[in-house]
Amino acid sequence: MMKITLPDGSIREYAKGSTPMDIAKSISEGFARNVISAKFNDTVVETVTPLNEDGSLVLYTWKDKEGKKAFWHSSSHIVAQALEELYPGIKLTIGPAIDNGFYYDVDFGEHTLSEKDFSLIEKKALEIARGKHDFKMRPISKAEALSLYKSQGNEFKVELIENLEDGTITFCDHDTFTDLCRGGHIPNTGIVKAIKILNVAGAYWRGDEKKPQLTRVYGISFPKQKELTEYLALIEEAKKRDHRKLGKELELFAFSTKVGQGLPLWLPKGAALRERLENFLKKAQKKAGYEMVITPHIGQKELYVTSGHYEKYGADSFQPIHTPKEDEEFLLKPMNCPHHCEIYNVRPFSYRELPKRYAEFGTVYRYEQSGELHGLTRVRGFTQDDAHIFCTPDQLDQEFKNVIDLSLYVLGSLGFDNFTAQVSVRDLDTPEKYIGSVENWEKAENAIINAAKEKGLDYVIEKGEAAFYGPKLDFMVKDALGRQWQLGTIQVDYNLPERFDLTYKGSDNELHRPVMIHRAPFGSMERFIALLLEHTGGNFPLWLIPEQAIVLPVSEKHEKYAEKVLKSLENDEIRALVDARNETVGKKIREAEMNKIPFMLIVGENEEASNTISVRRHGGEDLGSISLEQFSDLVTTEINSTLKSF
């Protein structure tokens, strides 16, 4: 017999050789019908894998992230079989699951693939799926695996196998199809009831521009047709909310090939929007005891060698800037932290002066590959709402909790109420990815977990997601379309204070090392605004939107009164403008709706005579004729309902 520990902590005994599916059936036949994947002792296994030792077992359904991963990876096998049958002679490479669906990279050779072929591929894939073919894993020797793919002329699979150890290689079979695979499949193809090919794109083999270009076939699949229909409707809504589309329509930002890829230009309305976000956070930071600092956009290479950023980012960053002085090199800064360490180092501190909280809206630069650039969410130059807190170890717990409070205030003020806190820790199997002592890492990880518990956060622990210098707490926010994004981060760092030899004089008159907290509630201004655009569909909170109202005179003779209304609004600090063009009021209203201006104030003969305005809300609601004072109160009340004091 073997002892199996289940996620609820219960321990059950089973005969050796029992499979995850056997165990699922022992729990409940109904539950077992929904189980599609499993993990045993942190290793993904098939539901039919015999278990022969004591261990921890997690059973996954479609509702679980790991269940979806197995479902989509299995679907990539089905689509790969369909492609092989439809396009003989193609060469398959890899087909992983991704956040939403899967892809398969394929060398199509002489064949071509376009959108008109998608329905044919879907039809063939569903035909295969309906066969209810079991996914079966089998070990194979390196020699046999190489022989198979060499005979097929598939140099991509040969390259993969050559880098594997004999005795670790497995194939997955279903129906007439065989593929090199490590595992992680659903029981059979019949569970897949709906498949959609989403698009195709070019992709270099192993992401290397010097290697052959392949065709990446993206797809998604579901256990019910209804779920696919709902997903496609969501995709259409997402297209309408695409921040690149809205940013152009609302004249917030632009890109120029002459300026360079991934380097956004902020237009007047976008710059004003950014400024309001900055001022909002600066006001809260001031109350929380932060001091603003400013650092250069560049630094000597040695600065980033000391911090460790050159080792981690150097190869993927902008290349060094060489000055007229021999052997002098500067870098565009990839992070603000090293500069803030040097600010702390300007003079000695006593424990009585800590914590020191330095904040900066600092622009940093990273050379993202051109194929990875995407609007404002992936750029080469971005501004972080960065702050670094230098505190004593005794102050760490309270300071971390204070930063959590500030982060929650920021998210709540901007309508991001649906979130999970993710505690990102080391992967103990890859210690080479991290700097610093094990002891310091353990202290930092425990500090974050304890703070998350005490603040009552709904949190999960993710192994291997920590920064190279320390663990972190990330806020994983769900937007209006149910998509999850990482917004805001807090990190505990014992390592940079050591690397920069930061000290303070303690009560014992000895020098001690401060602890460093890295903190960015927005993350990057560019990415935050992109996600805020898509979350709100461009209908920003009233306190933030560039233009809160537009005054629409009915005719030329009412323009003077329109200007009087505008002046009154400006006196009440309401952002407004007058549309005095020689156009119909109907056309002006339609354009104001497209520009997502919250209030349209129509003024004509009746309004001028009664010193009022006719108010129409964005979306069509008619608020009738009211006084300017009433309108000002309405705006103030609405702003105060969303923008609380910190």
Active-site positions read 337, 366, 384, 386, 388, 472, 518
Torsion of the alpha carbons at 297, 301, 304 and 310, rounded to the nearest 10: 110
Q: What is the DSSP letter of 289?
A: T
Q: Which of 288, 364, 295, 359 is nearest to 331 (CA)?
A: 364
Q: Which of 505, 511, 508, 391 is nearest to 444 (CA)?
A: 391
How far is residue 181 CA from its own chain's centroid? 28
Neighbours of 481 (CB within 10 A): 13
Tokens 């655009």 sit on residue: 533
**DSSP characters for 506-524?**
-TTSSEEPPEEEEEESSS-
Q: Which amino acid is it at 132? A: K
Whether the CA torsion 363, 364, 368, 372 is positive or negative: it is negative
Q: Which of 349, 343, 361 is nearest to 391 (CA)?
A: 349
- 577, 547 Cβ separation under 8 angstroms: yes
**DSSP characters for 186-243?**
-SBGGG--EEEEEEEEEEEGGG-TTSPEEEEEEEEEESSHHHHHHHHHHHHHHHHH-H
How far is residue 622 CA from its own chain's centroid? 38
Q: What is the DSSP letter of 374?
A: B
β-pair partners for 300:
330
Rounded distance, CA 105 to CA 95, Å?
6
Rounded distance, CA 441 to CA 425, Å?
9
Rounded distance, CA 217 to CA 96, Å?
11
β-pair partners for 533:
none
Rounded distance, CA 33 to CA 25, Å?
8
Residues with Cβ within 8 Å of 185's Cβ and at least 6 positions away in sequence, in order, are 37, 46, 70, 73, 74, 77, 135, 137, 172
Residues with Cβ within 8 Å of 304's Cβ and at least 6 positions away in sequence, in order, are 310, 313, 314, 331, 333, 334, 338
Rounded distance, CA 577 to CA 10, Å?
66
Rounded distance, CA 549 to CA 592, Å?
9
| 457 three-class SS | coil
Whether the CA torsion 371, 373, 378, 382 is positive or negative: it is positive
β-pair partners for 254:
265
Q: Which of 265, 126, 108, 122 is nearest to 201 (CA)?
A: 108
**For 93-136, what is the HEC assignment?**
CCCCEECCEEEEEEECCCCCCCHHHHHHHHHHHHHHHCCCCECE
